[in-house]
Amino acid sequence: MARGLVAPDMDHPNGTPGHNHNNLSVLQQHCAFFDQDDNGIVYPWETYAGLRQMGFNIIASLVLAIFINVGVSYPTLPASFFSSPPKYRDDIYREHNKSDFSGIASEFENVFSKHARTYPDKLTLRELWNMTEANRDAFDLFGWLASKMEWGTLYVLARDQDGFLSKEAIRRSYDGSLFEYCAKMQRGAEDKMK
């Protein structure tokens, strides 16, 4: 399980330097940022709060929080619990989008070897679009839309000034350290405004 606790790539075989995984899988770490009260359940208002902390506006945060929690919550619910929309961090592994890749290191590296045409370690918006099209499952309309939304949101959040999404930003989105970094930068910008 030790390798499942880090988001490695060729340049970071031990994952994000200085990032504490708290014995959570990479997918659980991805969700943990949004679990504001650390109770293992991510409610829509916690997702909304996390998106706002990262710098998304009110409308985008509201729409994304609803879409994410409604779309992801059902597979993570305990068998006897039929209401939505909380998602359970510890059971997030149940939610798998067939139209997206699983995030394992070999597949992660393949994304760049297959789709990064401009730079070997960065993706343009067009390259992201082509990647989601290539990974599309023909009978998974929701997964296809979710994949477009996830990657589009990541692009808006982490693209550089030249419009590229770096390999490092994508890798750090898996273990949630990107979200923590963006929230810290947002707090810093707000502090400078005061």
Residue 2 falls inside a structural domain:
no
pLDDT of residue 97: 47
Across 50-59, 128-137, 166-175, which has the greatest mean pLDDT?
A: 50-59
The per-residue pLDDT for 160 is 95
Phi, psi of 135 (to 5 degrees): -90, 0
pLDDT score for 187: 85
- What pLDDT band is residue 183 in, cutting at 50, 70 and 90? very high
* CB contact at 8 A, 27 and 92: yes
Q: Are 25 and 172 contacting, i.e. CB atoms less than 8 angstroms apart?
A: no
pLDDT band at 11 (very low <50, low <70, confident <90, very high): confident
The pTM of this model reads 0.78
d(CA 180, CA 163): 21
Q: Are residues 91 and 103 in the same domain?
A: no
pLDDT for position 175 = 86
Per DSSP bridges, beta strands 122-123 and 165-166 are: antiparallel
Same domain, 58 and 131: no
Q: Which domain covers residue 126, as residue numbers?
A: 97-194
Cα separation of 163 and 126, whole Å? 10
Do 108 and 76 lie in a common domain?
no
The answer to whether 103 and 174 have CB atoms below 8 angstroms apart is yes
How many domains is the chain built from?
A: 2
